[in-house]
Amino acid sequence: MNDSPAPGPGEMRASDTDRDQVAARLRDALAEGRISPDEHSERLDAVYSSKTLGELVPITSDLPDASAGSAPPADPAASFASPRPVYGSDRVVDAPPSGHFSLAIMGGAERSGNWVVPGTYHAFAVMGGIEIDLREARFVRREVTIIANVIMGGMEIVVPDDIEVRVNGVGIMGAYGTDGKPSSVVEPGAPVVHVVGIALMGGIGVTRKPRKHQKQAKDKKPKELDSGD
């Protein structure tokens, strides 16, 4: 018989849903101007490193509807007992991944369309090229990692405007980075894609492009009539 006392509410292990709910509140606070982008990033890191419900409470204690003070409330589990949707779309799904890697050796490879991204995706190009298109992709969880490496090759990772991307790659006699366009990320709980790896005598770039339906809607806008005769 186990005589160990049951853990208190604040010591209960946090689930992915619990963390996503707190992340959604931070996203709302960022959109409302209550916290700065740097504060948002710092707090978001704290959210996904938290292991218990008690560790999550102080992260939003100074925001509206958060528990007052830095100490956990009498029943922290009650704050997270009723999960609510934090995704405005079906971008995060409970479905098996479509694949786990892309490989191009003196050739090309592409992953695009309506596919399911795993928690960790590997892409490796040697004297070849790879395109990874995330515009119509769905994700097995909110935060995923793409490990992208090239040797004397190239890789392009295409993302829509409402996905947050964090690039931490290294270019050695090559380039590793983004096109510099910021994410609008207006939707609470938007997916976060971490891109890490090395570009050796090659290049890896993250570019933002509209989704197909967004591009089609833009193309269908009536054009102004020519003023000439």
Do 107 and 184 lie in one domain? The reply is yes
Q: Reply yes or no on whether the pLDDT at 63 is more than 90.
A: no
| Residue 176 located in a structural domain | yes
For the cut 80, the answer to whether the pLDDT of residue 140 exceeds it is yes
Segment of 7-11, 88-92, 104-108 carrying the highest mean pLDDT: 104-108
- Within a 10 A sphere around the Cβ of 178, how many other Cβ atoms? 19
185 shares a domain with 107:
yes
* Same domain (yes/no): 30, 132: no
For the segment 126-143, the average pLDDT, to the nearest whole number, is 93
Q: Are 60 and 25 in contact (CB under 8 A)?
A: yes
Instruction: Assess if residue 62 is contained within a domain.
Output: yes
**17: containing domain:** 9-79
Please indicate, yes or no, whether residues 33 and 125 belong to a single structural domain of this protein: no
More confident residue, 16 or 160: 160
Amino acid type, 117: V
For the chain, the domain total comes to 2
Domain-located, residue 2: no
The tens digit of pLDDT for each residue in 23-47 reads 778 877 877 788 887 787 788 888 8
Dig out the tokens for 97 from the structure: 């991944």
132 with 155: CB under 8 angstroms? yes
Select the highest-mean-pLDDT range: 54-58, 123-127, 142-146: 123-127
61 and 22 inside one domain: yes
Comparison of pLDDT for 186 and 77, the residue scoring more: 186
Task: Give 195-212 pLDDT, tens digit per residue.
Answer: 999 999 999 999 998 876
Q: How far apart are CA 144 and CA 205, in angstroms?
A: 17
- Residue 19: per-residue pLDDT: 81
Provide the pLDDT for residue 219: 53
